[in-house]
Amino acid sequence: MKRQSPNRRGAMMILVAVSFIILLVGAVFSVDVAYMHMVRAELRTATDAAARAGSEELARSQSPAAARAAAAAVAERNKVAGNGLTLDPGDIQVGSLQPSAGKFTFVPDVGPFTAVRVVGRRESTSADGAVSLFFAKVFSANQFEPVQAATASANVRDVALVLDISGSMGYYMPPTNRLDALKNAVSIFLSEVAVSSPSTQISLTAYSTTSHKILNLTNNFAAVQSAVDGFTPQNYTAIGEGLLMGSDSLASDPLTRPSAFKTIILMTDGQQNTGPGPDVTVATPIARGQTVHTITFSNQANQTLMRQVAQSTQGGIHIHADDAADLAEAFRSIARTLAVTLVE
């Protein structure tokens, strides 16, 4: 019988030793990689929570200092690698959201203040330092330095409802007249806003031959509905004057909020036929940074004009409604957009 060569036994021992080292390295890295993923998740959670807390405090207090304090306090209560996250003052920025290419971009230190951006750091130069690893230090990989950023904006909106009560709103449109269809659509709108964007304030303007301020900005949605339910159709259609009064309410009503997004919802069932047109008066909401959404109702409305008015403002949309069901859906759709802000 042949005996195994000593050289072969030696080669096998080397192979076993190399395999053991490879397995050890794999185990070392798997533990540390899993730990790194966990720390990243913790840092993301802490950063998100801090940004949300800061934006909510900003919405309530309108105070950048209070927003920064709230963000820092919440970060400290969230553990990252076993310790509360300490934010340096420069890691908390208060600013505004500026529309750009279909979304909003955070711009620091520019009013009106609507958003908070938090950068969570576990770097060697940050307050909490870098994250120490367990086994990778055997291979001179002593530390892990993750960074996460989050931007949050509490959806604070001031909305001007500007509604057509001209004579044509009394026209019959099965199964009811146009004005009754509007009253129902406004009820649906208010119900949606109450659920999806409850911090919203609403002012109410009606227009016919001229515009009439019915209610200043309020969070009393029942009062808004009650006022709309009392409307009766009358006279001509001063769309441009209605738009201007709605814009003024967002700029100067007693309860207007500097940090709130400003939105005008302008509805008509007909043609501009008295006073300056909305294509002229829309220059005022544009200059004030206000968004105008337009709703046209019935085939007698000037869809082209109202679409141009909406699209001339940042983020403005136009919806046409052929009948009462379409009108209700138009108001519902716009109500849902009020609760959504895309942040970088």
Give the whole-angstrom CA distance, residue 258 versus residue 288: 12
Question: Residue 139: its pLDDT value, please?
Answer: 54
Give the whole-angstrom CA distance, residue 314 versus residue 292: 8
Domain boundaries, the chain: 16-152, 157-337
How does pLDDT run along the chain (344 residues), one tens digit per residue?
455 555 555 666 666 666 666 666 656 667 778 888 889 988 998 898 899 889 888 877 889 999 999 999 999 988 899 899 999 999 999 998 877 665 678 999 988 888 999 999 999 999 999 988 866 555 556 788 999 999 988 778 999 999 999 999 999 988 889 999 999 999 999 999 998 788 899 999 999 999 999 999 999 999 999 999 999 999 999 999 999 999 999 999 999 988 788 999 999 999 999 999 999 999 999 999 999 999 999 999 999 999 999 999 988 999 999 999 999 999 999 998 886 565 65
Give the whole-angstrom CA distance, residue 332 versus residue 339: 12
Q: How many other CB atoms are there within 10 angstroms of residue 25's CB atom? A: 14
Question: Residue 29: its pLDDT value, please?
Answer: 65
Could you tell me which of 213, 226, 204 has the C-alpha nearest to residue 158? 204
Are 106 and 95 spatial neighbours (Cβ–Cβ below 8 Å)? Answer: yes
| DSSP-based three-state secondary structure for 222 | helix
Give the whole-angstrom CA distance, residue 142 versus residue 149: 24
What's 21's DSSP letter? H
What's 215's DSSP letter? E
Task: Count how many Cα atoms sit within 13 Å of the Cα of residue 226 in the half-sphere of its side chain.
Answer: 5
Are 249 and 285 spatial neighbours (Cβ–Cβ below 8 Å)? Answer: no
Give the whole-angstrom CA distance, residue 200 versus residue 216: 13
Question: Residue 338: its pLDDT value, please?
Answer: 82
Integer distance in angstroms from the first to the last C-alpha of the chain?
76
Question: Residue 93: its pLDDT value, please?
Answer: 96
Give the whole-angstrom CA distance, residue 277 versus residue 273: 8
Torsion of CA 22, 24, 28, 31, to 10 degrees: 110
Give the whole-angstrom CA distance, residue 89 versus residue 202: 36
Are 133 and 141 spatial neighbours (Cβ–Cβ below 8 Å)? Answer: yes
| DSSP-based three-state secondary structure for 231 | coil
Give the whole-angstrom CA distance, residue 177 versus residue 174: 7
Are 44 and 148 spatial neighbours (Cβ–Cβ below 8 Å)? Answer: yes
In this structure, the chain runs to a length of 344
Give the whole-angstrom CA distance, residue 110 versus residue 12: 69
Does this model's pTM top 0.85?
no
Q: Evaluate whether the domain defined by 157-337 bears CATH number 3.30.200.20.
A: no
Question: Residue 64: its pLDDT value, please?
Answer: 94
Handedness of CA 113, 267, 179, 215 (dihedral sign): positive
